[in-house]
Amino acid sequence: MGDHSVDLWAHPRLVSAIASEDWAAVLRTYRQLAGGVSQTRLGERVGLSQSDVSDIERGRRRVTSVEVRQRIVEGLGIPDRLLYGAARPDPGPVASLALPGLAPDEDLLARVTSAVIGSTRPDSATLDWFDRLLAEHRRAEDLIGSRPLVDVMRQQLRTVVGLHGCAAGALSDRVVRLAAEHAQFLAWMAQDQGASAAALAWYDRSHEWALESGDANMAATTLSMKAHMAWSGGRGTRCVRLAEAARWSAPGTSRGVQGMAAQMAARGHALNGEGDDARHLLDEAQELIGRAAERSEDEPPWMYFYDETWFTLQRGMAELHLGGWRAAIDQLTTGLAALPDHYRRDKTWYRSCLAHAFAGAGEAPEALAIAIGCLPDAAAVGRPHSWNELHTTAAVLLRHDAKEGRELISVLKQYD
């Protein structure tokens, strides 16, 4: 960028644009302050075509993809201090990653900090703290959605990977396992935001690290989550095959991880309209989840959500695909009533599915009421999956020639 870089990132217009994530203003202001850089040259830096840059600057295209946002951040070299809030003091290389109430004690903080900068080897207490921090971020994502956490988790993964060169023996394997868990979480968040290519890349990286560290549970989980991606894309047969691979390719997995793979295969069969196969596998998965609950200490930490409530919702999803509208309504209603409020993103998703089930059953007023009720959360934390399901609900209502379909489309447009 040249000698102007320090002054450029201190300019109030650019600082303000970055803080508000106004990427059109970021690109325009950057080009002006950098001496009139052309749209073509700027596009080369951030991996976009000249026409893409022009569309963003003119407001014809919004930056909603995590990957495009990251290209801009990395291509322009935007400092972390601006991305995380210019007014926030810099607490050091790792303290800024902590959630409220999760900062390590003074002695542990000193050891974590020195391990991160490479002067000492990480110890068990350091890695315990990163385990706890990751678990809390997973639960935070249930409430606030993935978008606010992506950059934090990228930085946290970089920090964990940086520990590997200083670790030895069993601690080295543990660092790799921890990196695999971070990569899997990043994959899930990319998938949640519709960035399929990025999600697949992260799942592949997580799977590789899981195999390297001998973590059968994570190796199987990444395959189950890739099956989930196939299901989300309407590819039932691929979903079934990936879920089956999760079951046989990683022996020695926990009951919960086996149950997840079985229910994912069931969802693939349901998507294909294969009701007998779907229900048989759901019965098998339910038996596995019951056995997992008896020995919850054997389950990996990312399986914290896998319980009877979650499984009831999965049965509802399968019935939705099979056109068993009343069964889907009953299962989804029961599951939603038991789902804690801190699962804000999941509640939004399953409510949108419940609206779809009511629409399929021809109960248009109920479908509309539920859809409108979950719109604010869908706009805040549920996109794109909840959003797509609400549009599907509107389409089903229109096929039934229900006036509620037109009403729902009108309300959806207010949020688009």
The pLDDT tens digits of the residues spanning 264-275 come to: 999 999 999 999
Please tell me whether residues 336 and 371 are part of one structural domain.
Answer: yes
pLDDT at 260: 94
Q: Give the domain-ending residue among 63, 83, 103.
A: 83
In a domain, 52, yes or no: yes
289 falls in which pLDDT band (50, 70, 90)? Answer: confident
Length of the chain, in residues: 416
Distance of CA 339 to the CA centre of its chain: 19
Could you give the C-alpha distances from 403 to 55, 170, 313, 326, 366, in angstroms and in order? 36, 63, 29, 22, 13
Please tell me whether residues 48 and 96 are part of one structural domain.
Answer: no
Please tell me whether residues 299 and 349 are part of one structural domain.
Answer: no
Q: How many CB atoms lie within 10 A of CB 197?
A: 10
Helix (H) or strand (E) holding 237: helix 236-248
The amino acid sitting at 265 is: A
The average confidence (pLDDT) of the chain is 84
Please tell me whether residues 409 and 338 are part of one structural domain.
Answer: yes
The amino acid sitting at 112 is: V
Please tell me whether residues 65 and 147 are part of one structural domain.
Answer: no
Task: Find the domain containing 139 and state its range.
Answer: 92-205
Could you give the C-alpha distances from 252 to 219, 291, 349, in angstroms and in order? 11, 15, 32
Please tell me whether residues 145 and 233 are part of one structural domain.
Answer: no
Please tell me whether residues 164 and 253 are part of one structural domain.
Answer: no
The CATH number linked to 61 is 1.10.260
pTM over 0.85: no
Please tell me whether residues 112 and 68 are part of one structural domain.
Answer: no
Could you give the C-alpha distances from 239 to 271, 335, 408, in angstroms and in order? 9, 24, 31
pLDDT tens string 85-100 = 433 333 333 333 445 4
70 falls in which pLDDT band (50, 70, 90)? Answer: confident
Mean pLDDT of 210-224: 94
Per-residue pLDDT at 5 exceeds 80:
no
**239 or 4, which is more confident?**
239
Q: Give the domain-ending residue among 36, 54, 83.
A: 83
Mean pLDDT of 51-71: 80
pLDDT tens string 345-357 = 889 999 999 999 9
Please tell me whether residues 235 and 256 are part of one structural domain.
Answer: yes
Please tell me whether residues 99 and 196 are part of one structural domain.
Answer: yes
Interior CA angle at 374 toward 372 and 379, to 5°? 100
Q: Give the domain-ending residue among 268, 289, 306.
A: 306
Domain count, the chain: 4
In a domain, 118, yes or no: yes
* Structure token pair of residue 385: 């999956």
Please tell me whether residues 101 and 192 are part of one structural domain.
Answer: yes
The CATH number linked to 352 is 1.25.40.10
In a domain, 210, yes or no: no
d(CA 129, CA 311): 30
Please tell me whether residues 32 and 118 are part of one structural domain.
Answer: no
Per-residue pLDDT at 112 exceeds 60:
no
pLDDT at 294: 86
